[in-house]
Amino acid sequence: MKTAASQARQNSTTDFLPLEGTDYVEFYVGNAKQAAHYYMSAFGFQALAYSGPQTGHKDRASYAIRQHKLTFVLTTPLRPGNEIAEHLNKHGDGVKALSLRVPDATSAWKETTSRGAKSYLEPVVLKDDDGELVMSGIHTYGDTVHLFIERKNYHGAFMPGYRAWSNPHFKPIDTGLQYVDHCVGNVGWNQMNPWVKFYEDVMGFKNILTFDDEDISTEYSALMSKVMSSGNGFVKFPINEPAEGKKKSQVEEYLEFYNGEGVQHVALATNDIVKTVRELMSRGVEFLQVPTSYYDDLLDRVGQIDEDLAPLRELGILVDRDNEGYLLQLFSKPVEDRPTLFFEIIQRKGAKSFGKGNFKALFEAIEREQEARGNL
Ligand code: FE2
C-alpha cells in the first residue's frame, strides 16, 4: 500500500514537502478569552473549539475560532514557568505557529529535519472519538515555529485535546475574510538571505520576488524583502530585514519591541474589500491612512478598475497593478500596544504581487505613526 508521502513523491519528483495551505495561525497572548472575543467581535470569527483545564491541559487555555477557511488559535499560559509564559514575557502578544496542512506530517518532519531544520515537535499521533490527527513541527526565525498538520483521518471540530465550543447568544456577522494570503517575517540585520536559504533548502520554496532598499525606502524607513513561495503557491512567506536609512527602520522598531525576530503581518484575503473594510472599521479595527492626494492620480497609475473610486477613497483602500492584474489592500495599525503584529486585508484581481507601487505612500504613513510613538 502506498503512503500519502510516497504517492506525493511519485506525483512530483521535486516537491518533497507538499503543502495544502495554511491550517491555522496560533497566537500566544496575555488573555486568550479576551483576545478570542476581539477577533470574533471585530473581525467576524465564530467560536469553534476550546482546550484548557476542562480538557486535560492544566497549564494553558486555547480558543480556536474560524471564518471561512481561516482558523486562528488564541493560547494563553495559566501559570508561569512554561514555554508559553516565557514566550509571552519575552515578546508580548504575537504569532507562535504558522501551521501548514500536509498529507503526511511524519514525512514533512523527516524531510525538513534531514535538510537541516531544528525539530520543535517530533511526529505525534493525537486521538479521540473523532479520529486521529498527526502533528509535527520545526523551528523557523526567532521563536516562531511551523507545525505540520495531517488531518485526513480526523473528523472532529478542530483537533484532539479540544472540545467543540459555541455560544448561541453570540454569533457575530462575518466580515468576508476568507483565507491566509501570506505571512511576513521580520528578521535581523543581514539575516534575510540566510532565511531565504532556509526556506529553499529545508522546505523547497522558491524566491519569487525581491525588493531591495531602492524599492522600499522613503526618507527614513528602509527595508529589504524577499518573497518565498511553496511550489504550488498556496503558502507564501515574505522575509524582511531592516536597511540603512536616515532614521530607524520600521523593521528595527519591530525587532526592538518584539525583542527579536517574528511575524510582522498576516495578510487575510477577501472577495469584497470595500464591504470587509467597512465592517472592520465599524467594529473598531484601526487602519493606516494615506493622504487623500493618493487618489488624485490613482487611475492614471493603475488604469481602469472595477470598483468605484469614492468608497476606496473614503476607506483609504490602496490599489496596485502588475503584469497579471491588480490588487486592493489596506494595512491595520498594530493590534497590540507594542508596535509589532498587524494585519493586511487584500483582494486580488489577477495580481500575484504584493503592492510595490504602494510602498512609498504606505511607509510614509508608518513613519508618521513611528514619529507619534517617538521611535523614529
Ligand atoms: Fe503583505
Reported as a single tens digit per residue, the pLDDT across 170-208 is 999 999 999 999 999 999 999 999 999 999 999 999 999
Total Cβ atoms within 10 A of residue 220: 18
What top-level class would CATH report for the domain 17-164?
Answer: alpha beta
**CATH homologous superfamily of 177-373:** 2,3-Dihydroxybiphenyl 1,2-Dioxygenase, domain 1 (3.10.180.10)
Question: How far is the centre of ligand 1, averaged over its atoms, from the C-alpha of 265 (Å)?
Answer: 7
Question: How far is the centre of ligand 1, averaged over its atoms, from the C-alpha of 344 (Å)?
Answer: 6
284-338 pLDDT, tens digit per residue, is 999 999 888 899 889 999 999 999 999 999 999 999 999 999 999 999 999 999 9
Question: How far is the centre of ligand 1, averaged over its atoms, from the C-alpha of 233 (Å)?
Answer: 15
Classify the C-alpha dihedral 176-180-182-188 as positive or negative.
positive
Total Cβ atoms within 10 A of residue 190: 9
pLDDT band at 14 (very low <50, low <70, confident <90, very high): low
Residue 139: name the closest of 97, 106, 78 by CA.
97
Domain map of the chain by residue range?
Answer: 17-164, 177-373
Question: How far is the centre of ligand 1, averaged over its atoms, from the C-alpha of 267 (Å)?
Answer: 6
Residue 8 has pLDDT above 60, yes or no: no
Residue type, 219: E
Question: How far is the centre of ligand 1, averaged over its atoms, from the C-alpha of 115 (Å)?
Answer: 28
pLDDT band at 5 (very low <50, low <70, confident <90, very high): low
Hey, do 17-164 and 177-373 end up sharing a CATH topology, with the first three levels equal?
yes
pLDDT band at 220 (very low <50, low <70, confident <90, very high): low
d(CA 284, CA 278): 10
126-166 pLDDT, tens digit per residue, is 999 999 999 999 999 999 999 999 999 999 999 999 999 99
Question: How far is the centre of ligand 1, averaged over its atoms, from the C-alpha of 222 (Å)?
Answer: 16
Question: How far is the centre of ligand 1, averaged over its atoms, from the C-alpha of 201 (Å)?
Answer: 23
